[in-house]
Homo-oligomer: A and B are copies of this chain.
Amino acid sequence: MTRRLMVATLTQAGLKLLGGNVSGQWGSRGQQLIHHCSALVYREHTVNIDTVRIEQLPLPVLSKHSVRVKMLAAPVNPADINMVQGTYPILCPLPAVGGNEGLGEVLEVGEDVITVRPGDWVVPVDAGFGTWRTEAVCEEGDLITVPKDISILGAATIAVNPCTAYRMLHDFHTLTPGSTVIQNGANSAVGQAVIQIAAAMDIRTINIIRDRPNCGEVVKELQALGADYILTEEEAMSGLQRVFQEVPKPKLGLNCVGGISGGLVLSNLDYGGTLVTYGGMAKKPLHIPAKSLIFQNITLQGFWMTQWKRNHRQDKAHLRSMLDSVCELVRLRRLRPPNCIQTPFPQYTQALDATVQPHQSKHVLIM
């Protein structure tokens, strides 16, 4: 009775969610509803993530161009929490299903669908899919296949962080074997992917990490991933002369912290280098002296994977090529899935609660 009531309420609300991929989930008058799914739904934007509740939603019947997918795994990323809280630059119309990243297996396809087949593994092309659910019906164009010979966790976490690392290493400077990259937040999911993808490209990484009690452990972990140099912020402050006796100064710096840590990346760039910012974990602005821009010819840019995917939405070959490259690294075990805590879908509150805390391992919902 509760379930039936919920469906009725959502149907009557007649609200549209962002993207064709999600809107159909609420059903519409007159459609023959066959399947249902469980989904983590939020009906308002608030810092209190307890408002995210599991709900039963109807799935529309398949059209000629749509696809029914069973979700296998979906991470809980900080950006997902920001979307729930309403502080992210893109928001889904409410009510909405949470989650932007995840792996699904195709169950059923409409008769005109050509790019995916039942049994294929797929990931969403765009943010706003609402991956925290057991099943979804969406347009074929909303999905792209990934190979099935990598792990579920590897596939479920590939489309945001490793792809961010991949793009930043390819799109801002032509890096050749032996050249260097410097980054802060080196222990973040993207930072770890940067280390591994750079190592596969024969590019040296200079990695700055937060001063923390378990520094020794982190250093060992990052070395195991292929990090060439690892320094705490404090060590980096006293200069990288030793490093630059061995390797050239980097043309590319990656910053996900800001504040003093961002300044450490900036001040160690080579003439004409680029500082790419993709996060602001310290919640403090970068301080940029004029001379860095004028006399060191440094360029500052930002990178946002969501925007990149939107800019290349009509250019699936570009997305395909990136995913193939990154999946190949996973297959070769040169790119490991991040350390993550697997959480059964019904215990989703643990995953959400952990993600709002700082410096937690990534949680992945297993459906």
The chain A residues found within 8 Å of chain B, CB to CB, are 89, 255, 258, 277-280, 285-304, 307
Q: Beyond A297-B307, A299-B299, is A291–B280 a contact (Cβ under 8 Å)?
A: yes
Residues of B within 8 A of A255 (CB): 290
Residues of B within 8 A of A301 (CB): 293, 299-300
Q: Bound complex: CA of A100 vs CA of B154, how far in Å? A: 59
Choose from B288, B292, B294 the contact partner of A303 (Cβ within 8 Å).
B294
Highest count of chain B CB atoms <10 Å: which of A89, A279, A295: A295
Closest B residue by C-beta to A277? B293
> In the complex, are the beta carbons of A300 and B304 less than 8 A apart?
no
> In the complex, are the beta carbons of B290 and A89 less than 8 A apart?
no
Q: Bound complex: CA of A319 vs CA of B258, how far in Å? A: 39
> In the complex, are the beta carbons of B302 and A277 less than 8 A apart?
no
Q: Bound complex: CA of A255 vs CA of B292, how far in Å? A: 14
Residues of B within 8 A of A286 (CB): 286-290
Choose from B279, B287, B295, B296 the contact partner of A290 (Cβ within 8 Å).
B279
Q: Bound complex: CA of A100 vs CA of B299, how far in Å? A: 27
> In the complex, are the beta carbons of A277 and B304 less than 8 A apart?
no
> In the complex, are the beta carbons of B297 and A292 less than 8 A apart?
no
Q: Is the interface of A mostly helix, strand, loop or mixed?
A: mixed
Closest B residue by C-beta to A304? B294
Residues of B within 8 A of A297 (CB): 302, 304, 307
> In the complex, are the beta carbons of A294 and B290 less than 8 A apart?
no
Q: Bound complex: CA of A292 vs CA of B277, how far in Å? A: 10
Choose from B278, B279, B293 the contact partner of A300 (Cβ within 8 Å).
B293
Pairs A-B, 8 closest by C-beta atoms: A280-B290, A293-B302, A300-B300, A294-B302, A285-B287, A89-B295, A277-B293, A286-B288
Residues of B within 8 A of A299 (CB): 299-301
Q: Bound complex: CA of A303 vs CA of B277, how far in Å? A: 21
> In the complex, are the beta carbons of A285 and B289 less than 8 A apart?
yes
Choose from B278, B279, B294, B300 the contact partner of A288 (Cβ within 8 Å).
B300
Q: Bound complex: CA of A295 vs CA of B278, how far in Å? A: 9
Q: Bound complex: CA of A89 vs CA of B296, how far in Å? A: 10
Closest B residue by C-beta to A271? B307
Q: Bound complex: CA of A75 vs CA of B292, how far in Å? A: 26
Residues of B within 8 A of A277 (CB): 288, 290, 293-294
> In the complex, are the beta carbons of A302 and B298 less than 8 A apart?
yes
Q: Bound complex: CA of A99 vs CA of B21, how far in Å? A: 65
> In the complex, are the beta carbons of B298 and A290 less than 8 A apart?
no
Residues of B within 8 A of A296 (CB): 302
Q: Bound complex: CA of A296 vs CA of B300, how far in Å? A: 13
Residues of B within 8 A of A280 (CB): 289-291, 294
- Least CB distance from A39 to B in Å reads 27
Residues of B within 8 A of A293 (CB): 277, 300-302
- Least CB distance from A298 to B in Å reads 7
